[in-house]
Amino acid sequence: MDDIQKEKEELIEMFGIHFESLYHIPPLAGRIIGLLIVEGCKSGVTFESIVEKLGASKSSISTNLNLLLKMEKIYYFTIPCDRKKYFKSAPLSSRLSNYLKILESECYLTDKILNYREKTASCLEERTNLENIKSYKKNLYEVEKSLKKTIAEFKKIEIINKNNSQ
C-alpha cells in the first residue's frame, strides 16, 4: 500500500471516529461521512463504491446512508441518463449552521438565567455566578457573530463553486 493510500485510509478512519463521537452515530455512519469528505469532494461517491471501499454489507451501508440523509449530514444527486445516486457530505456552511443552532439555544438559555440571577442574587456565590454568566454571555455573542460571518463567507464560496461547475 502506498503512502497516499495509507494516509487516505487514516483520514477516513479519523473522520469516522470524530463524527461518531460528535453526532452519536454508528461507526459505519461516521466512516461514510469520512469517505465522502475525502473522496466525494469532486464528483460524489456511488452506493456501490461506498460498499466496496468500506467493505460493509449493502444493507448496513443503506441503513447508515438513510440515517445520514435524515440527519442532513449528507445529500445525494443524480445525473441525467444515469440511474445511480451520487453521495456527498453536507457543505461546511450547513455543518456550521448546525453549530450555530446549538449556540443560539445556549444564548437563549443564558439570557434566561441571567435575567433570573439578576433578580435573585442574594449572596456572594450568586453574585459571582451572575458575573460569570455576564462574561459567558459576552463571549457567546462574540462566537455567534464570528460563526455567522464564517457561514456567510462559506456560502459565497459554495455559490461561486456551484456556478463555476455548471
pLDDT in tens, 91-122: 999 989 989 999 999 999 999 999 999 999 99
Q: What is the pLDDT of residue 56?
A: 96
Q: Is 91 left (phi over 0), alpha (psi -120 to 50) or beta?
A: beta
Average pLDDT over residues 1-27: 93
Q: What is the pTM of this model?
A: 0.80
Q: What is the pLDDT of residue 166?
A: 63
The dihedral built from the CA positions of residue 101, 105, 108 and 110, taken in this order, carries a sign that is negative
Beta strand segments in 47-146, E: 74-79, 82-89
**SS3 category, 104:** helix
Residue-averaged pLDDT of the chain: 94
Average pLDDT over residues 130-134: 96
C-alpha to C-alpha distances, 118 to 111, 136, 139, 141, 142, nearest whole angstrom: 10, 15, 18, 19, 22
